[in-house]
Amino acid sequence: MKKITCMIVEDEPVSQEILKRYIADCPQLQLVAVCSNALEANEKLRTDPVDLMFLDITMPKISGLDFYKSLSAPPDVIFTTAYPEYAVTGFEVNAVDYLVKPFPFDRFLKAVNRLHAPEASGFASPGFILLQADKKMHKVNFDDIFFIEGMGDYVKVHMADKTLVIHYTLQKIQEQLPASKFFRVHKSYLISLSRIDYLEGNMVIVNKTQIPIGQTYRSDFLSALQK
């Protein structure tokens, strides 16, 4: 089995040691370098590119997020930080996962195993996604979502008990959701397949709401329903 080369970018020695120990316990991982800041990591990547970075968000001089955005050919990334409110920032760069310190080994392993999972993207777990709205971080279960409506740089996430308005594009949020559960039926609509009431003409009814089926999406949508 080809090993996944990885790098730790972390300014706290204690956190470095925990990550080094966890990586050593994962036979699929090969630690290439341990860097204390983004500038050191940047130089190391020039000579030793890696498949995966464990990257702390809050570091001196330049944040982990800003550093990652600056890379022209960035490796996959799993963010680490002590501040849960930073989780949503990972959506901007399509991170594999986000670990809140202190995290146990089983949570670390779950993040690593998501690296090449078909539906692994952003911070969507097997059952929920984290979304920021109204200055709060909301845990939204996949099963609670009826449909998502795109409005330019914003989306409305429609659920039974509430609707969240998120500063996010429909395409980006689609990438965070499992393709087996959600389907794009129109340039402005993404629906939960399990929440469909019925189809009528060029409309799909979800929670008593009529949603148009775009001509370019119709064939693939009907095929998905028959699987």
Would you write out the chain's pLDDT as a tens digit for each of its 227 residues? Answer: 578 999 999 999 999 999 999 999 988 999 999 999 999 999 999 998 999 999 998 888 888 888 998 998 889 999 998 876 555 455 556 678 888 888 999 889 888 887 764 333 444 455 788 788 887 778 888 999 999 999 988 999 999 889 999 888 898 888 878 888 899 999 999 999 999 999 999 999 999 999 999 999 988 888 888 76
DSSP structure string for 137-206 = EEEEEGGGEEEEEEETTEEEEEESS-EEEESS-HHHHHHHS-TTTEEEEETTEEEEGGGEEEEETTEEEE
According to DSSP, residue 125 is labeled: -
Closest CA to 57 of 116, 122, 26, 101: 101
CATH number, span 4-113: 3.40.50.2300
The helix/strand/coil state of 132 is strand
Architecture of domain 141-225: Beta Barrel (2.40)
Q: Torsion angle, CA of 64/177/156/86, rounded to 10 degrees?
A: -20
User: What residue segments make up the domains of the chain, in order of their start?
Assistant: 4-113, 141-225
CB 185 within 8 A of CB 177: no
